[in-house]
Amino acid sequence: MPGDDSLFTTLIATAVDGITVIDERGIIRVFSQACERLFQYAASDVVGQNVNMLMPEPYREAHDSYINRYKTTGEARIIGIGREVHGQRKDGSVFPMYLSVGEGRLNGNRIFVGIIHDLTELYSVREARDAEKAFLASIVESSNDAIVAKTLDGVITSWNDAAERMFGYKASEIVGKPITLLFPPDRLVEESEILAKLRAGEGVHHYETIRKRKDGGLIDVSVTISPMRDASGRIVAASKTIRDITDRKAAEARLQSLQNELSHVARLTEMSQVSAAIAHELNQPLTAILNYTNVAKRLIASVNPASTPKAYEAVSKAGDQAVRAGQIIRRLRDFVEKRESNRTVEDINLIADDAIALGLIGAKSANIRTCIKFADRPPPIYVDRVQIQQVMVNLLRNAVEAMSTCQRRELTISTVAMDGAGVEVVVADTGPGIAPEIGDRLFKPFVTTKAGGMGIGLAISQTIIESHGGRLWMNPNSPGGTVFHFTIPAATGLE
Ligand code: ADP
């Protein structure tokens, strides 16, 4: 080899890329300093050896045949072309390199000159970038949010698994299609607004709207859209993250309705305090009326009762009404006053009396015929009197309301002694019966068919009766209407 040519020697010595020369049998003739660094061999270790020692298997074994094939067929796989291959260092480690091979002739012999560019660093950058890409891709794929990319014309370019689950389209079905496929018709206008924002370089953050699934179903979503830029900073596309917030919306709606119910309860509580106060206020004038009517009766009697019987009768009736109003007010006050639960031994008929007086206020004017059948000497019960009244008042008011739209309005209230085991109270109406949409949820809270109803009356009543060891149930009346029953066990004598 022309080692004495100083320019050539300098070139070989200083070239950053490795330079090697092999002959047509694959024997190394020149091995530059850069090659020594790359392969960790001294030139003296390799010159005169087969170049395949610098290659990992399986290339090492196959290399001689590569040379022979080239020599016989002239078919070049690497010569004059160059490609990425792997080299093997002295310690056995393998590294990526770019090898370009040129062919020449020296003293009538064919030689091959290989230039070796180390790709280790490039590969590690590439690997890091690939790892980052894979990491990002795994985030996109494992996300519970739909992540979708689209062009600035609104054409979908990528679609992750969550998008598939959320919207029901497979990536193969929807990539290349307009994103407006996901828009309900009345929301289409949003897309042009979104695109205008994107073109202006702005994003859209947590925008709550509605989108459409493949099956036509609508879902509540929160959408975040960011512009995607190319290397020069130009906006070329957009990424969309879409979160299904249907459950959250439903929970919010439930919460809202609970809040409404609660504020209604609060209003009722306030009302009950007001009515207690009103009851107290009215008691005084009623007592005064009673006193005055008594005085008037005495005066009429002392003057000439025979000449003024009509006046006497009228004043008496006025007095009776004042007594009645006073009783209603007393019951109402007992009923609505806030109190601790308090159980005593009671007679169901007396409780029912009070409950009927309260529950049927206004029933006469509603044209309801009432039939009351009380048990003879029912067994005593150990109850919270007001709570049992509350149950009865609720059943009675429900019955009155149910019959308001019916022709036949008959209400039967009975108390029945159950062979010493306790008492049963029955409230039967001739209303329309329980609405089919209520089904078996009758005693569940917040089930109501009334515009202003709270749907808690029966739920509370059931809790009250069960806490007294009894049972509350319903069966249809014949030929129409509803019969509610409840039982209360007899006081055991221990109380
Ligand atoms: P609310 O009266 O506030 O609706 P309730 O728990 O007392 O609450 O009653 C729940 C529902 O049960 C009512 O809305 C009504 O549809 C039905 N219901 C109760 N009692 C009767 C009845 N006697 N006849 C027909 N439906 C009734």
**pLDDT one-digit tens code per residue, 94-150:** 999 999 988 888 888 889 999 999 999 999 998 899 988 888 888 888 888 999 999
Q: Hey, which of 448, 462, 473 would you mutate to test ligand 1's pocket, going by the most ligand atoms within 8 Å of its Cβ? A: 448
As a whole number, mean pLDDT of residues 418-428 equals: 93
Domains in the chain with CATH codes: 4-123 (3.30.450.20), 143-244 (3.30.450.20), 252-489 (3.30.565.10)
| pLDDT for the residue numbered 2 | 45
| pLDDT for the residue numbered 358 | 80
Half-sphere exposure of 261 (CA within 13 A, CB side): 15
Poorest-pLDDT segment among 216-225, 256-265, 277-286, 476-485: 256-265
pLDDT tens digits, one per residue of 160-191: 999 999 999 999 999 999 999 999 999 999 98
Poorest-pLDDT segment among 344-353, 427-436, 439-448: 439-448
Contacts of 275 (CB under 8 A, 6+ apart): 332, 333, 336
User: What CA–CA distance (Å, rounded) separates 474 from 486?
Assistant: 9
Instruction: Find how far residue 378's CA is from the centre of its chain.
Output: 53
| pLDDT for the residue numbered 273 | 65
CA of residue 448 to ligand 1 center, whole Å:
6
CA of residue 430 to ligand 1 center, whole Å:
14
CA of residue 399 to ligand 1 center, whole Å:
8
Q: If we measure between CA atoms, which residue out of 81, 242, 89, 262 comes closest to residue 166?
A: 242
pLDDT tens digits, one per residue of 353-368: 988 988 887 676 678 9
Q: Mean pLDDT across the chain, nearest whole number?
A: 87
Contacts of 334 (CB under 8 A, 6+ apart): 354, 386
Q: How many CB atoms lie within 10 A of CB 215?
A: 7
Residue 239 in contact with residue 157, Cβ under 8 Å?
A: no
| pLDDT for the residue numbered 495 | 47
Ligand 1 binding pocket includes 314 (Cβ within 6 Å): no
Q: What is the DSSP string of 363-391?
A: TTTTT-EEEEEPPSSPPPEEEEHHHHHHH
Nearest-atom number in ligand 1 for the CA of 459 is 6
User: What pLDDT band is residue 268 in, cutting at 50, 70 and 90?
Assistant: low
| pLDDT for the residue numbered 32 | 92
User: What pLDDT band is residue 431 in, cutting at 50, 70 and 90?
Assistant: very high
Ligand 1 binding pocket includes 458 (Cβ within 6 Å): yes
Ligand 1 binding pocket includes 427 (Cβ within 6 Å): no
Q: If we measure between CA atoms, which residue out of 198, 220, 218 comes closest to residue 209?
A: 220
Per-residue pLDDT for 33 more than 90? yes
User: What pLDDT band is residue 3 in, cutting at 50, 70 and 90?
Assistant: very low
User: What CA–CA distance (Å, rounded) separates 242 from 396?
Assistant: 52
Look up the pTM and report it: 0.48
Ligand 1 binding pocket includes 411 (Cβ within 6 Å): no
User: What pLDDT band is residue 298 in, cutting at 50, 70 and 90?
Assistant: confident
